[in-house]
Amino acid sequence: MRADVLRIYKSVHTWTGIVSGMALFIAFYAGALTVFKEPLERWASPPAQQAAVPLERAQELILRTLQAEPAAARGFTLHLQDTENVPGRLSWTVRDGDGDDHDHRHVRHFAATLDAEGRAVAQPAAPSQLGDFIDVLHRVVGLPVDNDPNRWVMGVVSALYAVALVSGVIVLLPSLVKDFFALRLGRNLKRMWLDAHNVVGIVSLPFHVVMALTAVVFAFHDGIYALQDRLLHEGRLASAFQRPAASAGAAPRDLAAMRAPAELLAAVHAVAPGFEPTAMQYVQVTGPRAAVRVWGQDESAVAPRARGGFVVVDPYSARVVNHDSLPGHQSAPNQVISSFFALHMASFAGDPVKWMYFGLGLAGAWLFYSGNLLWIESRRKRGAEPPRRTRWMAAATIGVCLGSVCGLSATIAAAKWLPGLVDDVGAGHRWLYYAVFFAALGWAFVRGSARASVHLLRAAVVLTAAIPASSLVGVLAPGLGPWAPASGAALAVDLTATAGAALLAWMAHATARRVHHGPAPSVWAAPAVCADATPAFGGRER
């Protein structure tokens, strides 16, 4: 390939990566945590204060709750598993206002139980919102609200990301074999970082291609469906997914005729013996289109959603109505669509794949971080003061990337303290994250990228170590507010955070050495360093 063509592709790769890199760092770092959204929510949820209603009394709970709370008939969920993050055996939500369906800030939660006399008792519930908050950061690249405009921003960033992938592969093609198998360790750390950047990028290329393409589709899928509806379905696309309506004037359904949950689960088991139900979502049970979505997992098949798949059952006849979203029983077109969701959300093959995605997500975040740092280092010239735009880019990279790490660690560590300090825990998570994030960003510009990189990495160590420390306080002094881990999943969060704090401590130590032994005219050296010291990445100038 001609050298001038390669230069064009290298320029495209560089600038698309620079423009989208910092937003993608947040998306990938938060996305790696979102893979274990349920363990995080279990860690952030206190142990249940009262025993759940036995499943044998689930039908009684449903009927008595609907008598006492008719509004719940629009939609409620019967939880089949007892975990820390489940507010009660039966729960439902009420949305205030006409906000975006993806925005959960204005949703109120309720749960119902049975008292000693068998009466239904409904009360407000406050499930952990930690997992949802991190998921929002992941889905809208660090923006605070999951709405259409922010998803469109994410779509544009993902499109730039796809361009950066293609152009990066083209640039690397002429020397792919030589560069792929060459990780040159030594004093020239800039060369080593570039080699590592190339190796990580090539090894994880299929993962990144899937992430880029599916993220673009997720961002613009509403518009795609609207266009498809207008051009292909003449405005009748929504009706294709609805059950036939009852005749006019039909009487409301008799709730007493509704089948017990055990019968519905037996019908599902007959269709899919390997499917493990986790929840039953009842929809419009008093109307003509009453349905129950039985959600669950089947690790031997591809699930269409992060929480698994579902099968639709008629609650009055116990007949399976639809299994288009049932893992292992989907049609070919639905299987293709589900595969995109599954590949993005790691909803297949169980925990080994989740851990692999966790590692790939962190590696992806490092890829964007290292890409920006390599570009900044390439702007440095021997003996010359870095230009202002280079110093600003270095400060922005340090502030955004390390600020998001600090902010996420802070809001996770605070999850066990916020319920006793604020009324709105979800707002508390948002305020804390963005306060830490913008404080870190401001510190990077005030102190400069060199000093701030060390300070913020050390802050990230402290804040990440505060996660297991909160659980330790729950063990040693439970009266202060936090609680001890109540399950293996919650304990795994503490162990992972401990390992993360140790890794960040190593990075802080290595960064401090680089800062205090770098050349004076560099964005990665403290101003007091002598001009004849070693280069910023530790290697010999070439």
pLDDT digits (tens, 9 = 90+) for 335-348: 887 888 888 888 88
Cα separation, 458 vs 440, in Å, equals: 12
SS (H, E, C) 114-125: ECCCCCEEEEEE
- pLDDT tens, position by position, 17-48: 888 889 999 999 999 999 999 999 999 998 87
Alpha helices in 346-448 (DSSP H): 351-378, 388-413, 425-447
Tokens of 261: 């949950």
Domain boundaries, the chain: 46-127, 379-542
Q: What's the predicted TM-score (pTM) here?
A: 0.87
Helices 3-34 and 351-378: crossing angle in degrees, nearest 10, is 140
Cα separation, 101 vs 141, in Å, equals: 18
Q: What is the DSSP string of 253-304?
A: P-GGGSPPHHHHHHHHHHH-TT-EEEEEEEE-TTSTT-EEEEEEE-TTS--S
Tokens of 484: 């001890």
Cα separation, 172 vs 13, in Å, equals: 11
DSSP class of residue 419 equals G
First to last CA, the chain: 26
Give every strand in the sheet of 309-313, ordered side by side: 120-125, 107-114, 90-95, 75-79, 276-283, 291-297, 309-313, 320-322
Closest CA to 414 of 435, 428, 434, 403: 428
Q: Which residues of the chain have pLDDT under 70?
A: 1-6, 9, 49-51, 97-105, 172-193, 228-229, 231-251, 380-386, 518-522, 527-542
